[in-house]
Amino acid sequence: MARRPAQPDDRTGVAHLIDLFNATVPPVHRRGLPFVAAPAAIALLGRRHPWLARSAAAAAAASALFFRHPSRVPPVGAGLVVAPADGAVALVDKAVPHPELGLGDQPLPRVCIFLSIFDVHVQRVPAAGRVVSIEHKPGEFLSADLPEASTANERTSMTIATGPDGTGPQVGVVQIAGLLARRIVNDASVGDELVLGDTYGLIRFGSRVDVYLPAGSVPKVSVGQRAVGAETVLADLT
């Protein structure tokens, strides 16, 4: 049986303070550690030069903020599709999915989430199931909040077959680079069994994530709503 993570009330003294800090301050995603460590080292080595140390320390703090990786608790229930990222719901519409998703050529319900540079930038698994396909497409770097960014920008598309045996309805999730983004990371592999809400990827810096739902699905979010990755329910497929 998996051990429950230590909670602030489990221990006392200094250990309690450490647990409280870890529960309050999000850790940094491992992909962001070099971006934090490099300026932090410069700040340490340049401590005799205040202007250099302060600038480097500010860069390290900004990187730690951007690459933060907070803990999230997904809702419980079969057939749920959750937000794959934090951000503002930019579009709720129907659109023909990208060909690489393999979801057909008819318009499907789509929810688009725009991540500003201040949002958490890790991506979460939107639906539990098996990875059917992953494909990266090079492209432009238009502002991610523009409608045309969905098709014009660099992107990585992943299709998930839902259900415990991977035979349920398929959900498509697309990581889209933005105006400042130059790197899309997807750590999943074809055939992986994904758990709802687990972290699977990251985009640097400023981006968008689109979710294509099965035909007949009714999105449970509205344009302008703030989505919380792994927690906000986008649809119920049951």
Cβ count within 10 A of residue 105: 7
Q: Which residues are catalytic?
A: 207
What pLDDT was estimated at residue 1? 34
Q: Which of 127, 123, 125 is nearest to 69 (CA)?
A: 123
Contacts of 112 (CB under 8 A, 6+ apart): 89, 90, 91, 92, 150, 208, 209, 210, 211
Tell me whether the omega of the peptide bond preceding residue 66 falls within 30 degrees of 0, making it cis: no
Is the model more confident about 43 or about 19?
43
Q: What is the largest CA-CA distance in the chain?
A: 64
Over residues 28-59, the pLDDT tens digits come to 666 666 666 776 777 777 777 778 777 877 77
pLDDT, tens digit (0-9, with 9 covering 90-100), for 137-175: 988 777 766 777 778 888 999 999 998 777 899 999 999
